[in-house]
Amino acid sequence: MKILMATSEAVPFAKTGGLADAVSALSLALAQEGHEVRIIIPRYYSINRSNLQYLEGALGVHTGEREEWSAVYTALLPGAPAKNPVPVYFIDHEQFFGRDGIYGVPSEPDFLDNPRRFTFFSRAVFQLCRKLGWYPDVVHAHDWPVALVPVFLKYGERTGGLAKTVSVLTIHNLGYQGIYHKDNYAYANLDWQVFYEAGFDDWNMMNLLKAGINTADKLNTVSPNYAAETQTQAYGFRLDGVLRYRSGDYRGILNGIDTKVWNPKTDWYIPKPYSMKDMSGKRLAKEALQKEFQLPLEPDVPLIGMVSRLTEQKGVGELFGPAYGSAWSICQDMALQMVLIGSGDPWCENEIKSLSSRLANFKAHIGYSEAASHLIEAGSDFFLMPSRYEPCGLNQMYSLAYGTLPIVRNTGGLADTVENFNQDTGAGTGFMFNDLTPQAIYNTVGWAVWAYYNCRSQVEAMRIRGMQQDFSWKKSAKQYLALYAEALAQAAKKSG
């Protein structure tokens, strides 16, 4: 099958979160299965052109205002099988992407011209196919920035070589929908009738994700439980009705993890690799982590790690909220250590810096570091992820693979991947709570710490059980292939 991934993020080129990991790892897994996969992504300013190859000839894209011209560069996605490489195409448009930031910068978190930047990019997807003379069976779009891809395909682009192409839209996070003033619609170069027919209309605004959900041939989100949750009012971000309407075409497919990158047996960021059979490397990683974060070197004090975007989604209010968050009491009352790396909302970064300076057993780095995130996964005893909602979540899976027990809220993909500790039987792979309250986080961390001191053999058995889980992309790639096949069969039936 020929598959084109349309995305605003892909490792190692551009990343703000798990979307980037998921897109590249899925592409690699599909290539591994012998499919022809290509990726299209904007050439952000941070992606060095000198590492890319220039493709002759400019790309012209019709927008509602004018023809926009851009250059195209290409590179190969690292890690693909030599016999079946995965080309990545970079759309280079100086005015739209020649600046710092993917979606924004701290002083302007959502660039004012984002609707135009991503409308242009979504159109460019089809022009690229024509330029290359390469026509995919499936164009697979990820999240709101490219939610116009299925819309453009349905309304106008399904011609010539693309006549049989189908679209799949993956929702990685329903919290971000791309809602903009409808003045921006004209730039998309679509009739006003389509504005209503495709369901762009959102209380007189333009909602890109909503239109994508309405028009994609097939849809999915990144875990079965989140697929069910998003069809309820509590988790639907006002699109639960739209998703319920499409429930026949909507699936939950759990993300995998890239086991080449996230594997304690081969991880080059940790002092000594380890495995289920020899866990000595984990103790060394704990020591290295304590040193790195300037914590006392205490091998037998439970160490709790966090790696997170610091936004409401991740439950940071209940943990770090001034005067009500439970992190302070947790660190004051319990014999534990806590480390964190993260960046995000300024209030939260400040609060964390302040806690870090006042508490001897809580140390944090504000920022982004692959190296630190690997060391935290390997060196911690527990990994805390009290998400308000979590479409899939990668870090809890990394944790399980590293024998680090997740402490998570029972929601989204966390519920699909972690099994709660059962004190009577010893079963489980982590510790879970239902309600997102400071008290519930406090109590559940307390439970994990208690188990660490009092049920040591059960805790060690849980680590091994976590390490035995198979979170490779192979399984998920098969489910995507089944979804693509369904979309193609459905389209063939309609046209035939």
Which residues of this chain interact with ligand GLC, rule CB under 6 A?
A: 17-19, 22, 172-173, 222, 255, 390-394, 413
The 3-state DSSP composition of the chain as helix, strand, coil percent (nearest 5) reads: 40, 20, 35
Residue 369 binds ligand ADP (CB under 6 A) = yes
Q: Which of 224, 342, 428, 466 binds ligand ADP (CB under 6 A)?
A: 342
Under the binding rule (CB under 6 A), the answer on residue 308 touching ligand ADP is yes
Q: Which does 27 bind (CB under 5 to 8 A by kind): ligand GLC, ligand ADP, none?
A: none
Using the contact rule CB under 6 A, the part of the chain among 33-41, 125-133, 339-347, 465-473 near ligand ADP is 339-347
Q: Is residue 111 at the binding interface for ligand ADP, with CB under 6 A as the rule? A: no
Q: Does 225 bind ligand ADP (CB under 6 A)?
A: no
Q: Segment contacting ligand ADP (CB under 6 A): 108-116, 128-136, 272-280, 305-313?
A: 305-313
DSSP codes of every residue in 146-196: GTHHHHHIIIII--GGGTT-EEEEEES-TT---EEEGGGGGGG---HHHHH
Which of left, alpha, beta for 306 (phi over 0: left; psi -120 to 50: alpha)?
beta
Closer residue to ligand ADP (CB): 302 or 413 = 413
Distance of CA 327 to the CA centre of its chain: 25
Tell the residue number behind the tokens 């000594």, with chain if given: 272
State the binding partner of 342 from ligand ADP, ligand GLC, none, CB within 5 to 8 A by kind: ligand ADP
CB-based contact 128:5 (threshold 8 Å): no
Show Cβ contacts of residue 128 under 8 Å, excluding neighbours closer than 6 positions: 40, 59, 72, 89, 91
The secondary structure element, H or E, covering residue 481 is: helix 473-495
| Listed residue (59, 185, 209, 203) closest to 121, CA to CA | 59
321: left (phi over 0), alpha (psi -120 to 50) or beta: beta
175 binds ligand ADP (CB under 6 A): no
Candidate residues 8, 9, 10, 18; the one interacting with ligand ADP per rule CB under 6 A:
18
**Three-state DSSP class for residue 142:** strand
For position 17 contacting ligand ADP by CB under 6 A, the verdict is yes
Nearer to ligand GLC, 318 or 416 (CB): 416
* Residue nearer to ligand GLC on the CB measure, 120 or 144: 144
| Number of Cβ within a 10 Å radius of residue 463 | 20
- Least distance in angstroms from the C-beta of 85 to ligand ADP: 24
**Among ligand ADP, ligand GLC, none, what binds residue 373 when CB lies within 5 to 8 Å by partner kind?**
ligand ADP
Closest CB to ligand ADP among 18 and 302? 18
Q: Which does 92 bind (CB under 5 to 8 A by kind): ligand ADP, ligand GLC, none?
A: none
CB of 368 vs ligand ADP, minimal distance in Å: 4
302 contacts 447 by C-beta, under 8 angstroms: no
Out of ligand ADP, ligand GLC, none, what residue 222 binds, judged by CB under 5 to 8 A for its kind, is: ligand GLC
**Residue pointed to by tokens 């190859």:** 53
Return left, alpha or beta for 204; rule: phi > 0 is left, psi -120 to 50 is alpha, else beta. left
**87 contacts which partner out of ligand ADP, ligand GLC, none, CB within 5 to 8 A by kind?**
none
Can residue 317 be called a binding residue for ligand ADP (CB under 6 A)? Answer: no
**Out of 59, 301, 348, 394, which residue is the one contacting ligand ADP (CB under 6 A)?**
394
Q: Which residue is nearest to ligand GLC (CB)?
A: 18
- How many residues touch ligand ADP under the rule CB under 6 A: the total is 18
Q: For residue 180, how many other CB atoms are within 10 A of its CB?
A: 22
- Using alpha carbons, list the distances in angstroms from residue 384 to 134, 395, 404: 45, 9, 10
Member of 309, 447, 461, 479 binding ligand ADP (CB under 6 A)? 309
- Is the CB of residue 196 less than 8 Å from the CB of residue 259? no
Binding residues (CB under 6 A) for ligand ADP: these are 17-19, 21, 307-309, 341-343, 368-370, 373, 392-395
